[in-house]
């Protein structure tokens, strides 16, 4: 017996380590979901984890777990996908540029199996918590990286700062850092609010505020402002003194950040000066303040009126633009023969590229998501809140937007939709809960 004791002891000691290793390996689905976000700045590299999840999603479709397609989260996702994809399919039947539209329609199909893969694996609380924590940490890493780029001229990967604006890991030509940080900001903020001491939440908020202001993307300013207003509401609802306290903190932090940025960043100073032209009220000043978007929107309205039912086809805006633009349109000057690439406003983009069918689909999708939210338990609402808030600011209509049907923005939007559905599940994958009012 004594001779065997060392071997038995080693075996017992190794067991927890082995179990721990297997536990970490079992979290690979959350790792794939995280990699989609982590690789967003690097062109099409995010297609690699998407392809892996697509294969996994096809397996789920062919051999689904018992009752999988009866889950409320799965039915919700199928409804959201249909509301998005079917109008793009119908719009492509007579698109102005059929090859481009059909390419988009077929590409959008990948979101169906990928979404089922995500929902299937996010039924596990460990997967949800890991994805949430890792995604929030990634957003904060992007902020730190951007500040390093401001201070040193290059970021952690040696990328130089763009001559136009701060853009961190997204490179000199892919000007999307501000948009992405603003949309994803609820992930680190809500994680810090729920699971970390209060100073961490305040530090994350101030870091995000500083970087988003310096980036000088006004659409991102508005989106992050909406996020901050949501957190002021969560902090102060029902307590008038807290409204005053939160308002003073935000006003002070925002004013100091803008004042410092105005002195240190020529790009920020130029955008603030241009934004103030809105106060002059005349058409030319308003157009300049809006980044010369008025002719784009006027052309979009003409295009939508000419193709009211199903639009000009997904991604067809740029190909139809010259046919509807005015003779003096600035977007057709200087050798540009196609004009603006998209409508720069989500409602107008849907109206022009997929028509009334697309607008109806978007309305149905929003109603389905809202009804699902209303039906969730208080605990599930807490889990879904950061993703729901991210989607809300992303689609907030009174703003300018990146292209809704583009590869980049549609990928980020659908990643959030998948996670919204996945986070709304209980550990078993069942979503049964007592109906509650809005929290």
pLDDT of residue 23: 67
How remote is the C-alpha of 247 from its chain's centroid?
26
Contact by Cβ (8 Å): 178, 223: no
pLDDT band at 7 (very low <50, low <70, confident <90, very high): very low
Check pLDDT > 60 for residue 17: no
With bands split at pLDDT 50, 70 and 90, how would you rate the model's confidence at 251? confident
Look up the pTM and report it. Answer: 0.90
Find all residues with CB under 8 Å of 330, minimum gap 6, and list them.
292, 295
Cβ–Cβ < 8 Å for 317, 343:
yes
CA pair distance 311, 33, nearest whole angstrom = 33
Residue 94 DSSP class: G
Instruction: Give the residue, 284 or 439, on which the prediction is more confident.
Output: 284
Q: 236 pLDDT band (50/70/90 cuts)?
A: confident
In whole angstroms, what is the distance from residue 402 CA to residue 410 CA?
9
Q: What is the pLDDT of residue 231?
A: 92
CA–CA separation, 84 and 357 (whole Å): 10
Structure tokens at 228: 């901050």
Exposed, middle or buried, 156 (CB in 10 Å: 0-12/13-18/19+)? Answer: middle
H helical segments located in 276-425: 283-289, 294-306, 317-324, 346-353, 355-375, 378-394, 407-423
């Amino acid at each position: 017996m004594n001779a065997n004791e060392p071997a038995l002891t080693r075996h017992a000691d190794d067991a927890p380590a082995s179990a721990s290793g297997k536990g970490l390996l079992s979290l690979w689905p959350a790792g794939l979901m995280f990699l989609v976000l982590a690789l967003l700045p690097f062109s099409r590299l995010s297609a690699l984890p998407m392809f892996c999840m697509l294969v996994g999603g096809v397996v789920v479709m062919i051999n689904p777990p018992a009752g999988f397609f009866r889950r409320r989260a799965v039915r919700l996702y199928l409804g959201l996908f249909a509301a998005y994809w079917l109008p793009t399919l119908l719009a492509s039947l007579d698109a102005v540029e059929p090859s481009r539209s059909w390419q988009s329609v077929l590409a959008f199909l990948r979101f169906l199996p990928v979404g089922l893969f995500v929902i299937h694996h996010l039924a596990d609380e460990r997967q949800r918590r890991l994805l949430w924590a890792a995604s929030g940490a990634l957003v904060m890493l992007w902020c730190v990286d951007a500040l390093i780029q401001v201070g040193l001229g290059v970021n952690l990967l040696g990328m130089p700062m763009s001559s136009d604006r701060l853009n961190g890991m997204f490179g000199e030509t892919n000007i999307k850092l501000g948009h992405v940080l603003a949309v994803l900001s609820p992930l680190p903020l809500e994680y810090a609010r729920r699971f970390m001491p209060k100073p961490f939440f305040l530090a994350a908020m101030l870091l995000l505020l500083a970087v988003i202001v310096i980036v000088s993307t006004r659409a991102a300013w508005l989106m992050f402002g909406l996020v901050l207003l949501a957190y002021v509401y969560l902090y102060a609802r029902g307590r008038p003194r807290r409204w005053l306290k939160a308002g003073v903190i935000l006003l002070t932090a925002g004013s100091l950040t803008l004042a410092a940025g105005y002195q240190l960043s020529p790009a920020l100073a130029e955008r603030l000066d241009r934004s103030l032209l809105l106060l002059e009220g005349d058409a030319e000043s308003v157009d300049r303040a809006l980044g010369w978007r008025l002719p784009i929107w006027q052309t979009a309205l003409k295009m939508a009126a000419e193709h009211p039912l199903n639009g000009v086809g997904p991604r067809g805006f740029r190909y139809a633009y010259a046919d509807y633009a005015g003779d003096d349109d600035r977007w057709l000057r200087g050798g540009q023969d196609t004009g603006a690439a998209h409508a720069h406003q989500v409602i107008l983009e849907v109206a022009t590229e997929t028509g009334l069918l697309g607008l109806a689909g978007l309305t149905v999708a929003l109603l389905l998501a809202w009804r699902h939210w209303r039906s969730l338990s208080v605990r599930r609402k807490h889990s879904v809140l950061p993703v729901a808030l991210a989607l809300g600011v992303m689609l907030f209509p009174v703003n300018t937007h990146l292209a809704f049907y583009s590869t980049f923005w549609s990928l980020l939007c659908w990643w959030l939709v998948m996670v919204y559905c996945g986070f709304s599940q209980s550990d078993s994958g069942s979503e049964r809960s007592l109906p509650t009012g809005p929290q």
